[in-house]
């Protein structure tokens, strides 16, 4: 989507024996309609059968170079989100970052829970 200047953030591809490949990705909310239009215009070239989309999502991340040398950081993150009842729709990881996509209404709850879990600040994220 380079020529359309659409910034694609998290990209996840899944392939199973029972299913055709599926690709999920995130874009900024103000680019959703344009993204859907570009996909529709290129359906034949891309060879997909349908598009599902969802709005009102948010990304929450934990970041730190210490993640490389501290196993279990991601597990601790997912456990806390689970205990808070926060659903995770997508995950992206690197050596120093774990990002999750969740419903926008859970964003502050997730950020505050992770601040608490990792003892990142005395104050919570503003409500």
d(CA 106, CA 84): 10
Which pLDDT band holds residue 17 (cuts at 50, 70, 90)? Answer: confident
Question: pTM for the whole thing?
Answer: 0.82
pLDDT at 60: 96
pLDDT tens digit sequence for 35-58? 999 999 999 999 888 999 999 999
Burial, 41: exposed, middle or buried (Cβ in 10 Å; 0-12, 13-18, 19+)?
A: exposed
d(CA 78, CA 28): 24
With 80 as the cut, is the pLDDT of residue 123 above it?
no
pLDDT at 4: 86
pLDDT tens digit sequence for 54-79? 999 999 999 998 888 888 999 999 99
E-strand ranges in 1-127 read: 8-16, 19-27, 57-63, 90-93, 97-103
pLDDT tens digit sequence for 74-121? 999 999 999 999 999 999 999 999 999 999 999 999 999 999 999 887
């Amino acid at each position: 989507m380079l020529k359309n200047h659409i910034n694609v953030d998290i990209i996840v591809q899944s392939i199973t024996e029972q299913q055709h490949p599926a690709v999920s990705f995130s874009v900024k909310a103000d680019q959703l309609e344009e993204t859907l239009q570009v996909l529709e215009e290129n359906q034949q070239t891309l060879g997909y059968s349908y598009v599902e989309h969802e709005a009102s999502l948010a990304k929450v991340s934990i970041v730190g170079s210490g993640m490389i040398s501290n196993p279990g950081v991601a597990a601790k993150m997912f456990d806390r989100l689970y205990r808070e009842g926060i659903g995770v729709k997508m995950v992206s990881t690197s050596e120093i970052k774990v990002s999750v996509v969740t419903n926008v209404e859970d964003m502050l709850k997730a950020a505050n829970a992770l601040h608490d879990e990792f003892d990142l600040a005395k104050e919570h994220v503003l409500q």
